[in-house]
Chain A
Amino acid sequence: MMPKLLSTPDLERVYDLIAEAIDAAPDAKRSLMLAKLALALANLVGDPAKVEEAVAAATRDL
């Protein structure tokens, strides 16, 4: 279970931010944009173990 590090108002902000980034990207480039976003965020997290945890959460229940 990942810890909750974003406050709820900040969670709401990033939710809208990412939703709008998805809408701004051309449909055909959506996956590319999201892959870039994942890599950029992984870099900001700075810890491969945490990235593994995030990958596990993301691939569950698809």
Chain B
Amino acid sequence: MHLPETRPRPSVFYNYEIHPFRRPAELDGGGEPAPVAIVGAGPIGMLTAIELARFGVRSVLLEQELQVSHGSRAIVLTRRSVEILQHAGVAGPFLAKGLPWSSGRSFYRGKPVYEMVMPHDDDDRFLPGLNIQQQYIEQYLVEAVEKSDLIDFRWGSKVLAVTQDERSATLRIDTPEGEYDLKADWVVAADGGRSTIRKLMNLKMEGRAYVGNFVIADIKADIDLPTQRLCFFDPDWNPGNNVLVHRQPDGLWRIDFRLPDGETAEEATRPEKLAERIDHALGMIGQRVPWTLDWATVYSANTLTLPDYVAGRVVFTGDAAHLLPIFGVRGANTGFQDCDNLAWKLALVAKGAAPRALLESYSSERVQAAREICEEGGKSTRFMTPPSAGYRLMRDAVLSLALSEDFPKDLLHWRTSRAHAYARSPLNSFPDEDAAFSGGIAVGDPIRDVRLGADDFFFDHLVEPGFLLLCFAAEGSLTADLRETLRAAGRAGVRVARALIGLPAAPEAGLADIVIADPERRIAAKYGAPDGGAYLVRPDQHVCARWRRVDSHVFARALDRALGGNA
């Protein structure tokens, strides 16, 4: 019998809502197999369900608890994550609540050594960072899930076992009213770092764990500092270690510091010890103000990934698939990119509209991304928590030099989570056409936003789920080839949103879904596209083909390729 906690979790700022367990039909001998069963309703599991629903695919979403996560956990969303949320139609509440920022400062022994402003283009609507607690991230996604008719959200449901054959998978589920079996064509394992599914299937991750524990303590306090990443190396009260300070909504602040080697999590989170260190941290930043503790936990850094995210009918995503370092805000941000990549592919495969190879491309693309993160994040990790005497000595050398020299400062860059280029994806095509462009957005890269007006951006117009065909008609007329391509796209077997850039209106009805006049030719310039050129963009907004001159045949071949065919 699974008996989840029924009392709201304690918090000084967040009001936890209990979502009661609802008895499913399966417990009374009813129910039917689900196209997709998602295990874990954290941010990644929920976004997967929302995106599947946008493609018309029904899912059962299984969550062990009756309320959202304990503690604020993931507190920074990158620009790419906010773009993903915008494209999924759910970004509004995040933008209303979150605190945007773009810069950070680092200090060594109290003196400034580094300052950085993360790149921000005037064409980007969103700033590089948005601070918001995971309780709110989950709450807003819960609200979006509840609005959908295609998501069967089952709180208080814990997976005990998973079995599968060639055709389907079966989950054994435990609830407060007994156990039942749920059959599903596909299972998405989005059950986090300590994934039950990963353990049940005995799948091992590759990579390494780093020694070195960190405490994160969230306090409510009236601190007078801007929203910026603040990092302090070797403060006198935490010699040889570092402290990070991040502002959150609702007057919350995260203090994040490395523990002395050998100190246990238990020792570190003893109230008096914690209070002493928090007081030191506040003294260090010149803000000796009263504070109340909301939540504290201990973490360590890992650079681990499953080598394959597809195991038969079970697909792994988010922290269930990989454990990545906190440095560079890589947890939820990587997970959002994962499920944005996964959902459209799983939707097509689940509907029988694409071969299994399409799902395998999710794994190859995202495992590659995870490996890049392990590599980059590994560098940051070796700087923030030096794994050996040699790395520690080099770190101290860089910090000390940075007090008077500029040349080593780039080593203090925190290497933020970024979108990945799927440059070698099997879904890409027409590499020669791609190479013929000078500039624009390369095949494999995600498309970029463009400012069209004071409060008007290109991405605001791209709200439809599915593929996107961007056609450029910058000379005031439509070429015959372009016209034919648009017609072909309108007849395609999958949803292709057709965007015509450069004309005030479509020359005939039904030829385009989105028309953007782009009188200043800003989109044409950013995309480097001549009149008659086009981009084919996947539902996760990554480019899979582009042409300086498109016609309906090359479009059809590229689309077929992008669907996992071998055109």
Contact = CB atoms under 8 A, between A and B. Distances in A.
A15 B394 contact: yes
- For the residues of B in contact with A, the DSSP-based class is helix
Nearest to A12: B379
Contact of A3 (B382, B403, B407, B413): B407
Nearest to A57: B405
A18 B404 CA distance: 21
Interface string A18-61: 11111110010000000000000000000000000000011011
B403 A19 contact: no
A21 B390 contact: yes
B505 interface: no
A6 B389 contact: no
A6 B413 CA distance: 16
A8 B116 CA distance: 15
B390 A57 contact: no
Contacts of B404: 1, 57, 60-61
Contacts of B408: 11
A25 B391 CA distance: 13
B520 to A, nearest CB: 35
Interface in B364-385: 379, 382
Given A11-B411, A12-B379, A62-B400, A4 B394 contact: no
Given A12-B379, A12-B411, A4 B406 contact: yes
Contacts of B401: 57-58
Contact of A19 (B394, B400, B407, B410): B394
B398 interface: yes
B552 to A, nearest CB: 43
Contacts of B390: 18-24
B393 interface: yes
B128 to A, nearest CB: 19
Interface residues on B, range: 20 to 34
Nearest to A15: B394
A12 B411 CA distance: 7
A61 B411 contact: no
A32 to B, nearest CB: 14
A15 B401 CA distance: 13
B388 interface: yes
B555 to A, nearest CB: 38
Contact of A22 (B393, B403, B405, B413): B393
A2 to B, nearest CB: 6
Interface residues of A, number: 24
B410 A8 contact: yes
A21 B388 CA distance: 11
Contacts of A62: 400
A1 B379 CA distance: 26
Contacts of A8: 410, 413
Contacts of B407: 2-6, 11
Given A1-B405, A57-B404, A15 B393 contact: no
Most buried by B among A1, A20, A23: A23
Contacts of A23: 388-391
A56 to B, nearest CB: 9
Contacts of B388: 19, 23
A15 B398 contact: yes
B408 to A, nearest CB: 7
A23 B387 CA distance: 10
A13 B545 CA distance: 34
Nearest to B378: A16
Given A8-B410, A12-B379, A61-B400, A19 B405 contact: no
Most buried by A among B390, B400, B404: B390
Contacts of A22: 389-390, 393-394
Interface of B: 379, 382, 388-391, 393-394, 398, 400-401, 403-408, 410-411, 413
Given A12-B379, A60-B400, 15 more contacts: A5-B407, A6-B407, A11-B407, A11-B408, A15-B398, A15-B411, A16-B382, A19-B393, A22-B389, A22-B390, A22-B394, A24-B390, A57-B401, A60-B404, A62-B400
The 7 A-B residue pairs with the shortest CB-CB distance, nearest first, are: A22-B390, A23-B390, A4-B407, A19-B390, A8-B410, A19-B394, A19-B391
28 contacts: A1-B404, A1-B406, A2-B407, A4-B407, A5-B407, A6-B407, A11-B408, A11-B411, A12-B411, A18-B394, A19-B390, A19-B391, A19-B393, A19-B394, A20-B390, A21-B390, A22-B389, A22-B390, A22-B394, A23-B389, A23-B390, A27-B389, A57-B404, A57-B405, A60-B403, A60-B404, A61-B403, A62-B400
